[in-house]
Structure formats: structure tokens, C-alpha cells
A and B are shown apart, each in its own frame.
Chain A
Amino acid sequence: MPYFHHEFGDTRFIINNKYTGLYQELYGKDNFFPSNANVFLFFASLGFSHQKITSEEQWNKTAKEGRIHFTSFKEGEIGLFLSFIFHEHHFDLDKLSPKDYSHVVERYADAGMELFIEHFLEKYRYVKEKDGIYYLDIIDRKDFQKDLLVYIRDLHSQPLTKTG
């Protein structure tokens, strides 16, 4: 069995409780993203590219639940996921196993989602909040699709932040 599959097994990566609604809708019936894991990686990348990460202290206090299965990662996605981890522990495999660093990706994804809400969903009024949980508030899904594409296109066009 490959090492990482053995290491992570049926691990579920954790997401902030208040974002569960958004995750569900973003990969749901309209397939804005193909999978939950893809959404997770998108937000982790967004947080990382903006060098924004939820602090460990904050993350410990956050109510969260395991949602993303390691096995849900598709082509190329494991490599990207592991890149966050290897980048974080500077390839020092003696100290801890990669699994111990997976919370770093979760914290980037959490910060990325916060950015997404602030810079896109709230700006275009595509979000509502009920009982502390965020949901998409979309009247015309085509409009949303178009705006989301423009947002992502703009992100692509931006020079990305040099990482440490």
C-alpha cells in the first residue's frame, strides 16, 4: 500500500462548522466545483496564495467537523495537498508524520473561505447566514456562475504572492 494512503487512510479533513453549508452548495447539484475535496483545495490555495491562515489558537477554538475524505482527491490533487504539508514542515520527515501537519491545510482553507466570503460572496450579495451557518443566496445561478468565473479569472490574472 502506498505510504500516503497508508498514512492518511480514511482521514477526514476538518472544516469550520459555519462553512459546511457553503461547501455543500459549491460542489452540489450545480457542480460549481467537481468535489468537496476540490472545494477544500481551492480555498486552501486561496488562503495560501494570499498568505492568510487561521491562527492555531483560533482554529482550536473553532467548532468543526470532518468532511473531506483523503480518498476523494482526484488526479494531481494529492500532490497539491501534500505540497502544503511538505512546504510547512520543510521536508523534515524525522520529526512528525505528514498527517500531523494536515491541520495546516485546513487552516489555510478556513482563511481562504473567509477571503472568498469577504471579497466575493458579500460583495455581490450571494451569501446569507442562518443560525451561524453560511449559505449561498442566489437568485439567478447563471449570474452567479458568471460572476464566480470572473472572480476566479481575476485571481488567475493576479501576480501570485511569493511564498516563503
Chain B
Amino acid sequence: MKFEKLTLHNFKQFYGTQEIIFAGSDNKEQNVTVFYGVNGKGKTTIFRAINLVLFNEPLLDQDGDEHFDTEDFIFCNKAAKEEEKDEVECFAELTFTHQNERFVLKRIIDDDFGINLSDKVTSYLQIIDMNTGHTKEFYDDDVTEDKIPFIKKHLKSYYFFDGEKTEELTRSHPTQKKLVAKGFRAFLKIDALERLSKAGFELEQEIQRSLDKTGNTKLDEKRESFKQASLHLEQLQKEKNEANKEIKFLKNSLTSLDKALNNFEKTNEIKTKLNNHMMNVEHLKETHNTLLQELWELNRYSSFFLSKNLLNEVTVASSSLRNSIPVPIGLKKESIEHLLERGRCVCQSCATEGTEVKQHLEFVLEELEKNNHSVILDEFYKYLTESNHVYERNKERVWSTLSSLDETEQKMKKEEETILHLKELLGELSGCESLSEKIASYKTFTQHLSEQEMLLVDIEKRTEKKRIEVDSLRKQVKELEIKEGIVNEKTLRRDYISLFNERLTQLMEKFEEKIKPIVSKQITKTFHSLLSEGNALHAYTVMIGEDYSLQLVDEQNQPFLGNISAGERQMLSISYCITIASLSNDANKTMDMPIFIDTPFSRLSLDHRLNLLNTLPNCTNQWIFTSIDTELCKPEATCLLETGKWGKVYELVSNGKYKTKMEYTAPKTFVHKLKEDNDNALLSS
């Protein structure tokens, strides 16, 4: 189905007759149409008009519930009413094609007629065979749904939706889940298959009942045995299904438990590592304290370190001064006094009274006593040497203690970072605490699984046995019927219907088995493509439940749907709609219906908006959306233009009081204008 043209005549804000052509109707490549305008200019009116024309529903979900006051609701353009005073015609008309036919569907509204909104609407439908040109026309009550069977009212919320409300489709709520399941079953025609299956069984029973009236006692007995055996087989089949379901549940539970236990093992590993690192930190803290204490004791030498340049300089100066003094500074007064007292010089010459040696020694002693400066310098040098020794002795200690302290602090920092990282990992793996409970569950489930598997084997054996019995009884009944000469059209019909029912049941089982993983995979793929890069939900999977409800599960297979944001839910809802609608249609996996979304971007961040703009045009024949000025800005518009899919944009602009005009702009021109506006805004700011 493709939309070609929308005509509005005095329809709400749209004064006079205004027509727009949809992108994609004439050009397959460019299939996106945008209605752009500020609040109150009629974007939702476009949505309302299409909704009215296709589904004959004047109200939208956003209008509220059944308590909506319809008297306040006016369809006819107010300006036209004021100008013409008399009855003003108001209608919305949509031209669309489906297969080889063109449809012109028109809804005319008379605000002044009737009490209920539905009373105010009259309809007109024209169907043109595009091959032959043959035209059929229908009016009012003759415009029925069966004339346009491809437009399914109960599925409309999957094609035509309000952007803000889409997220409701995937809320974690039983009602919403039922709604999703309903759509799913309807789109994939599972409901239809079930109805067909039910009808088949009813028909078989009906034929059998009429056949039961013919024949003799022996045949009746045989038929009764066959009936009982069939019922028993059916019962066994149900038991088998139940057992299979239980086994599936147990296997899933065991997989989840396996993951949880693996996590527990990981947790234990991390805890061991964490303990080791924490012990390391404790040791390092002790070392750090010891080093601080050591450094503390070295504080007394701080003055020497601060004055090391001074000590060096003074040491050099005093050494040089000592060398310039003629008397060897190393010669001490006490030494000369000692030589004189001993009466012998260092060269062993006698230095007794009257000797020349003694006279010389006495001269030196006198000189030394006189040379006070030398003594001072000598004494100073002694103290200075001591100071230098103190500095030298402690220099290595201070620097090695300082460097050990730095090293220890760095190691502590590293260890603390590792501890923080490990704690974060532990936080992510939380929920693995109740190991004993999990092990107990694992044991119980394993035991239960083994019991169920044994039960299933037993049921399968009994089923097979019963099936043979049923086949044999069927054969016997048939033989007796032949013998009794009552093989007729009815028995043949019964046999065919029976075979059909059997095949249909098998088909449905296979379909269910195959379709769920396909849909799950496809929705997950689309959802991931719409998510922003780095979003944690990339690791999550969309699952289809037993009842066809939708669930989002995390890496541990745990339900997570209730925890995602409204924006993410909107993306999930859109993924769901696109997937089931496209899977239900054709092998190309594109939707056969146009998608209409009223303001799709409001809840979405820019990266999500861009992903949606890149993805959606490829999933449908036509995409129509409305947008306000703050949603479709330069980045969004540029992105859409670059997809090459953007065919038309209609700007909804004011054209006087109560009047809106739909102005066509080529997308390129529109983007250029947005850029200019943006640049001007930047310049003026």
C-alpha cells in the first residue's frame, strides 16, 4: 500500500482546499515525507486526517477517553465558517494504491449534524482498477472495511502512532504485554491459524457424529474404541507438550543458574585478589608509617640539609685559608708542649734544658700561642668537619628514606586503584551472594529435569504406542465401514479433514518453534541498530515469551524491561513494530504499509534520532512524520538528507487567522535554510 495524495478542505486549520503529494508515490528511492511546523500549526491535524480517512475514527488516543466532550470539538475551519456563515463543506480525502487498484477515500464532516462524532461523518470510496480503468463507487454505509481489507483497524497502532506514546507499547506492565502479544499473534496470523485449527476439529467431530448414526453394534464399538483411543492420544499429546514446556523452563533456569554460579566463581576469584591487594595495602601502610617515623627522627638534621650549600662554601674557604697560614695548622700547641715535657723532639733529638732543639720548640710554641687566628680556624674547622660528617652520614639515609617513601606512596596508590577496580567488578557481579541457595536450586532443578526427561521418554513411548493403536483402530473402522458398505463422501471428508488437522497441528508447532527465535533476533538487531554507540543495552536480547509477550533480558537471562528509559522503550517499540510488520508482509522485510509517526523525536537524544533517521526509511515503503522546529534541526535534517531517502517536506505556516498553509519545499532547500538560520542565530548571539 502506498499513499499518493492527501486533500484537505476546510479541515481544522487548513483553510480552503489544500493538497499534498506523498514522497515515495512516484519515486521509490525517496520515500520520506516530513510535515514541519511550530506548535498549533496542524501537524497533529494531518495525523488526525489520515486516521479519520483510513479508520473512520475522528478521535486520536491523545484526545483522551470516552468522557471526551465532543461538543467542543470542531472539524470545520473557523475562518471559513466566519466568512461563509452558511454550511461550509469540510472533508479529508486520501488517495492510495494497493496492488493494482487505486483508492480514493473521502470522509466528509458536518459539525452541526448529530450528537456523536460518528454521526457527523459521511464517507465516499472510489476504487479504480489501474489495468482496466474500471471504476467502482461506494457511499456512506456501503463504505465498509471489506472494501479495503488490507487496512486493519486492530493493527493501526503498529503503523500510525504518536511518537511520545509509542514507548507505552513496551512498558513492563501486564496490559501492555497482552497488547504486544495480541499484535504479534495478529500480524503473524497465528490467531487465524488457531481459528482454522479449531474449525477443522469441530468439522471432523461433526462429520464423525453424523457418521456415528450409521452402522451396526460392532462398528459402533470399534468407533467408540477409536474415539477413546484418539482422546487418550490427545491427552498424551498435551502431557507431552506440558513435559516439553517444563523441560524447556528447567533448562533455561539451569542455564541462568550456570551463569550465576560462574559469576560466583568469578566473584570468589576477585574476592581473593581483593583480599591480597588489601593485605598489600596494609603492609604498605605499615612500611609508610615506619618510613615516616624514620623521617621524623631525621628532622633534626633538616638544618644541615637546608644549609648544605653554606657548609660546602665555608668548608672550601676555610681549607684554603688554613693552607695559606705558614705554620702547619695540623701542629697543635698541646703536641709541642708534650714534646717539651718529654724532652725529645719528633725526630728523636734531645730537647732538654739548654739544647737548641728545646729552644726551637719553645719558639714554635710561642708562635702558636700568638697565632690565635689559626687556633680559632683550627677549632672552627674541627666543628665544621663534624657538621659535614653529620650531613654526610645522614644524607644517604634521608634521600633513601624519601625515595622509599615516594615509592611506597606510589605503590599504595596503584594498589588502591586496583582495589577500586575490583570492587567495581564485584558490584557488577552482585546478586551472586546466595551461593548455597543457588547450589540447592541447581541440584533440585537438575533432579527435576532428569525426572521430566524420563517422564517425557515414557510419554513418548506411550504416545507412539497409542498412535499405533489409533491408526490400527482407524484402519479397522475403515475396513468395517467398507464391509458394511458405508464408505461415502462423508467418510472421505472426515478422513481428509482428519489428515488436514494433523498436518496443521504439526505446522503450527513448527511455526512457533521457528518464528520466535527469528523475531527475537530481528527485533534485537533493529533495536541495537537504533541504540547509541556504547549503550549498555547492546549486550541485551529481546525475547519472545511463551504467550508471545515481549521481554528484554540481560546477559544473565534476567528480565530487564522495567529498568530501561522512556527513550529506550520508544526505540524498542519502534523496533518491535517494524520487525513484526515487515516479517508479516514480504520476503524483502520491508513493511507493506506506510508508517506515520507524529513527532517521533521528542524523547530521543541526538544519537538516537540520527540512528532512527538512518534506519527507518529502509524498513518501510513510505515514512511520514511530523516535527516541530526544535526536533528537526540542522544535524537531524542533514542526516536525513544524506540518506537520500527524503523526498518531500511541507512546512505548515500561518496564513492569517485560523489559517494554516502547507508549503512544499525541496529537502535540499529546507536544509540550506536551516543552516542559514543557524548561522544567523550564531552571528546575532
> Which residues of A are at the interface with B, using a C-beta cutoff of 8 A?
2-4, 32-34, 38, 41-42, 44-46, 48-49, 75-80, 82-84, 86-87, 91, 93-94, 98, 145-146, 149, 152-153, 155-157, 160-163
- Select which of A32, A93, A160 is within 8 A of B308 by beta carbon: A160
With both beta carbons as reference points, the residue of chain A lying nearest to B312 in the complex is identified as: A163
A156 contacts B402, C-beta separation under 8 Å: yes
A49 contacts B307, C-beta separation under 8 Å: yes
Residue pairs across A and B with Cβ atoms less than 8 A apart, 7 shown, are A49-B307, A76-B383, A78-B386, A80-B303, A82-B380, A93-B377, A160-B306
Q: Distance (Å) between the CB of B408 and the closest chain A CB?
A: 13
A146 contacts B313, C-beta separation under 8 Å: no
> Which residues of B are at the interface with A, using a C-beta cutoff of 8 A?
292, 295-296, 299-300, 302-311, 313-314, 317-318, 321, 372-373, 375-377, 379-380, 383-391, 398, 402, 405
Q: Distance (Å) between the CB of B380 and the closest chain A CB?
A: 5
B380 contacts A80, C-beta separation under 8 Å: no
For A38, A45, A48, A84, which residue has the most chain B Cβ atoms within 10 angstroms? A45
- Contacts A46-B306, A152-B302 known; list 19 others, CB within 8 Å: A4-B380, A32-B299, A34-B300, A48-B307, A76-B387, A76-B389, A77-B387, A79-B383, A79-B386, A82-B383, A86-B317, A91-B321, A93-B373, A93-B377, A149-B292, A149-B299, A156-B402, A157-B402, A163-B309
B310 contacts A48, C-beta separation under 8 Å: yes
For B303, B310, B313, B390, which residue has the most chain A Cβ atoms within 10 angstroms? B303
Q: Which residues of the partner chain A approach B387 to less than 8 Å between Cβ atoms?
A: 76-80, 83
B314 contacts A87, C-beta separation under 8 Å: yes
With both beta carbons as reference points, the residue of chain B lying nearest to A164 in the complex is identified as: B313
B300 contacts A163, C-beta separation under 8 Å: no
Q: Which residues of the partner chain A approach B384 to less than 8 Å between Cβ atoms?
A: 79, 82-83
B376 contacts A83, C-beta separation under 8 Å: no
- The verdict on A91 contacting B318 (CB below 8 Å), with A149-B292, A156-B402, A160-B308 known, is yes
A102, B387: Cα distance in complex, Å: 18
- Select which of A4, A45, A78 is within 8 A of B302 by beta carbon: A45
- The verdict on A33 contacting B402 (CB below 8 Å), with A48-B306, A163-B313 known, is no
Q: Distance (Å) between the CB of A86 and the closest chain B CB?
A: 6
A33 contacts B307, C-beta separation under 8 Å: no
A80, B390: Cα distance in complex, Å: 10
- The verdict on A76 contacting B309 (CB below 8 Å), with A42-B303, A145-B296 known, is no
Q: Which residues of the partner chain A approach B295 to less than 8 Å between Cβ atoms?
A: 149, 153
Q: Distance (Å) between the CB of A89 and the closest chain B CB?
A: 11
Q: Which residues of the partner chain B approach A94 to less than 8 Å between Cβ atoms?
A: 373
B310 contacts A163, C-beta separation under 8 Å: yes
With both beta carbons as reference points, the residue of chain B lying nearest to A87 in the complex is identified as: B314
- Select which of B305, B310, B379, B389 is within 8 A of A2 by beta carbon: B379
- The verdict on A162 contacting B314 (CB below 8 Å), with A38-B300, A83-B384 known, is no
